[in-house]
């Protein structure tokens, strides 16, 4: 009975993970999670010529890990949308607390102050000048225009290396900075905090500093595009059916154990 109960607990955990994966099938930049099981400590009930005789006591969850495989890339035509084709993460910063995060979600917009931001207002990090000497919040305005040009921004675009090109109303065009990417030797050590954001970068083995897209093992950028969820819906539904059947089978183990105990109790009457 105890083995059956342990299985119900762990399969419920698996159902929670599968449900979360399926719920985020259309979430931009979402990375699915996998559950791994391991057998629980076995009880030794004796020995024989072949060795110790052991009976398992059930199952435990050994790990729940995010799978950072590539999601499909969809063109949106929006100049602030960026997708990473390959390894790497965008670095973003909370302007209120100064807290740093990384994300694969490139569904960025430009706020009223010209900052390139996530849906929750986190500011995208990179070089803020054409010389590549200052790292900070990427801002799309005329503050870095040649000769102090004060014409309004007419349009902007990014290239596959993250370079920001700004066109002013008077026809002046110049480089306004560059989006940089971070990468990790063990991205599964990152901690998800919701809103497609991750912390725990120090534990994941980061690069010494963020780098230009397409260099140092990080992917290039797909401009005017978004990376979609990497959830394989067909595979998740198959796993859901398998887990449901396993849950039902272990529920039957508990029911059967209960019936046997009831029979033992009835023997005394």
Task: Report the Cα 267 to chain-centroid distance in Å.
Answer: 57
The per-residue pLDDT for 268 is 67
Q: What percent of the chain has pLDDT over 70?
A: 99
For 117, residues 6+ apart whose C-beta sits below 8 A from its C-beta are 92, 108, 109, 110, 111, 123, 124
Domain assignment present for 204: yes
SS3 35: strand
Query: Reduced to 3 states, what is the DSSP secondary structure of residue 264?
Result: helix
Q: Are residues 58 and 80 in the same domain?
A: no
With respect to residue 253, please indicate whether it lies within any of the assigned structural domains.
Answer: no
User: What mean pLDDT do residues 62-78 have?
Assistant: 96
Same domain, 160 and 177: yes
The pLDDT tens digits of the residues spanning 226-236 come to 999 999 999 99
Q: Is the pLDDT of residue 27 over 80?
A: yes
Residues 125 and 13 in one domain: no
Instruction: Residue 192: give the domain boundaries.
Output: 73-227
Record the pTM: 0.88
Average model confidence (pLDDT) across the chain: 93
Is pLDDT larger for residue 214 or for residue 57?
214
Query: Is there a single domain that holds both residue 58 and residue 147?
Result: no
Could you give phi then psi for residue 19, rounded to 5 degrees?
-65, -40
Q: Read off the pLDDT of residues 121-177 as tens digits, 9 standing for 90 and up.
A: 999 999 999 888 899 999 999 998 999 999 999 999 999 999 999 999 999 999 999
Q: What is the C-alpha end-to-end distance of the chain, expressed in Å?
A: 24
């Amino acid at each position: 009975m105890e083995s059956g109960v342990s299985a119900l607990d762990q399969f419920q955990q698996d159902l929670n993970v599968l449900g979360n994966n399926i719920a985020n099938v259309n979430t931009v930049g979402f990375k699915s999670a996998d559950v791994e099981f391991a057998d629980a400590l076995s009880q030794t009930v004796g020995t024989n010529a072949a060795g110790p005789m052991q009976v398992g006591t059930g199952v435990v969850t050994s790990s729940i890990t995010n799978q950072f495989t590539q999601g499909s890339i969809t063109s949106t035509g929006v100049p602030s949308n960026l997708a990473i084709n390959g390894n790497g993460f965008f670095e973003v910063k909370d302007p209120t607390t100064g807290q740093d995060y990384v994300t694969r979600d490139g569904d960025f917009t430009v706020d009223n102050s010209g900052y390139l931001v996530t849906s929750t207002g986190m500011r995208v990090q990179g070089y803020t000048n054409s010389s590549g000497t200052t790292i900070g919040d990427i801002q799309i305005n005329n503050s870095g225009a040649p000769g102090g040009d004060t014409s309004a921004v007419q349009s902007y675009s990014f290239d596959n290396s993250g370079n920001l090109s700004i066109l002013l109303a008077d026809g002046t065009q110049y480089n306004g900075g560059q989006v940089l990417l971070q990468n990790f030797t063990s991205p599964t050590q990152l901690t998800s905090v919701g809103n497609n954001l991750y912390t725990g970068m120090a534990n994941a083995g980061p690069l010494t500093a963020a780098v230009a897209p397409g260099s140092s093992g990080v992917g290039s950028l797909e401009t005017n595009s978004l990376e979609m969820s990497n959830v394989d819906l067909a595979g998740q539904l198959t796993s859901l059916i398998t887990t449901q059947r396993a849950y039902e089978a272990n529920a039957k183990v508990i029911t059967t154990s209960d019936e046997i105990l009831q029979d033992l109790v009835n023997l005394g009457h």
